[in-house]
Amino acid sequence: MIEVAPPTEQTLHALYRDHNGWLQNWLKRRLGNAWDAADLSQDTFLRVLASAQPLAEVHEPRAYLLTVGKRLLSNFYARRSLEQAYLQALAQLPEESMPSPEQRWLLLETLQALDELLDGMAGVVRRAFLWSQLEGLGYREIAERLKVSERTVKRYMAQAYEHCLMAES
């Protein structure tokens, strides 16, 4: 395996200095909010820092930052949508069943983590996994719903468990 050197402090600094303002403005136009744009811009540079892509090989830095930024923007909107659905579900609860602000925060964090985990699974694998875990369906019932064999469901479940284990590492 080839070892990829992390970006040097100098090249990352130059990338940040030369393009952070541009990226923040681009994000601000999409979000209509300078605070969220600044957060996503920082997250973009953190992803670049953690990336295996050597910065010396990036010939179009704005295109590269835009690709990373668009992915983070998509995740941001998905998180916001999940949060809105959660808040709507909470609004349906009777007052005495309402979780405390701390419990709501923990539940939302857990939902977001689960959403990110499940997002990496193929749709059919995710459905099989959720039916098994949330509804307690057996492989035969899942196979009937998906119109596939039980053996295929077993393969889907193995993929789901493998995906979860890989995400933990």
Q: In this predicted structure, what is the pLDDT of residue 6? A: 52
Beta strands, E only, the chain: none
Report the C-alpha gap between 106 and 86 in whole angstroms. 12
Q: Which domains does the chain have, with CATH numbers?
A: 1-97 (1.10.1740)
CB 36 within 8 A of CB 76: yes
Assess whether pLDDT exceeds 50 at residue 42. yes
Q: In this predicted structure, what is the pLDDT of residue 4? A: 45
> pLDDT-derived band of residue 142, with 50, 70 and 90 as boundaries?
very high
Q: What would the pLDDT profile of 47-81 be if each residue is shown by its tens digit?
A: 888 887 777 788 899 999 999 999 899 888 888 88
In order of 27, 100, 113, 119, 136, the CA distances from 127 in angstroms are 33, 31, 17, 11, 12
